[in-house]
Structure 1
Amino acid sequence: MLFTIIGWVIFGLIVGFIARALVPGKDDIGILPTIGLGILGSVVGGLVFSLFTGRITLSNPVGWIGSIIFAIILLVIYNRVTGRKRARR
C-alpha cells in the first residue's frame, strides 16, 4: 500500500512537471500543486483512455499520454480560473 502511494506521488510529479514544461509561460505553482495536478490528470486521463483500451495500467504508453494531456488541460483551466499565468517577457 505504501509503495502504491509513493508510486502515484512520483508518477504525479513527473506528469505534472511534463505538463508544466509543455504549457508556455511561467507557472507560479509549487511542488505540491504540481504533484496534485499530475495525479488528478493521471486519474482523469486514465479513466478516459481506459474506455478506448479496456484496461488501466501505468506501464501502458497510452496511459502516460492520456495523463499528460489531461494534466495540461487541467493546468490551462487552473491558470484561467486563478489568473496566475503570466507571460514571459
Structure 2
Amino acid sequence: MGILAWILIGLIAGAIAKALMPGKDPGGIIITMLIGIAGGLLGGWLGKVLFGVDSIDGFFDLSTWVAAVAGSVILLALYRLVTGGRHHHRHV
C-alpha cells in the first residue's frame, strides 16, 4: 500500500480517534491530522510486531483500519498526557 493511502487512512483514523476521545486538545485539527497519520503507521507497525502480521496492506481490510485507529487512539492519549499539564489558566 502506498504512502498516500496510509496518509488517507491516517487522516480518517485520526478523526475516528478524536470522536472516540472527545475533548479540547492544543494544536487543533492540524495536530489531530498529524497524530492520525502517525497513529496509522504506529498501528501497522504494532500489528506486525505484536501479532506477527506479515503485512497490513489492504486499504479496505478491516485489520488495516482497526490497527490505524488503535494507533491513533494510543498517540492521542500520549499527546494528552504530555500536554495536559501545560494549560495555563488565568485566575482573576
Query: Which bin holds the TM-score, normalised by the shorter protein?
Result: 0.7 to 0.9
What is the aligned-residue identity percentage?
38
Aligned residues: 83
Q: Deviations over 1:6-63 (max 9, x none)?
A: x343322211110011014333432221221111111110011134322121332112
Shift of 1:4: 4.6
Distance 1:15 1:42 in 2: 7
Bigger Cα Rg: 2
Question: RMSD value over aligned CA atoms?
Answer: 2.5
Distance 2:61 2:48 in 1: 10
TM-score by length of 1: 0.74
Structure 1 gaps of 5+ residues are none
Moved over 6 A (4+): none
Distance 1:67 1:22 in 2: 13
Per mean C-alpha deviation after superposition, the further-off stretch among 45-54 and 59-68 is 45-54
Say yes or no: does 1:70 pair with 2:64. no
Say yes or no: does 1:82 pair with 2:80. no
Give the secondary structure class of the aligned counterpart of 1:83.
Answer: helix
Give the secondary structure class of the aligned counterpart of 2:27.
Answer: coil
Corresponding residue of 1:46: 44
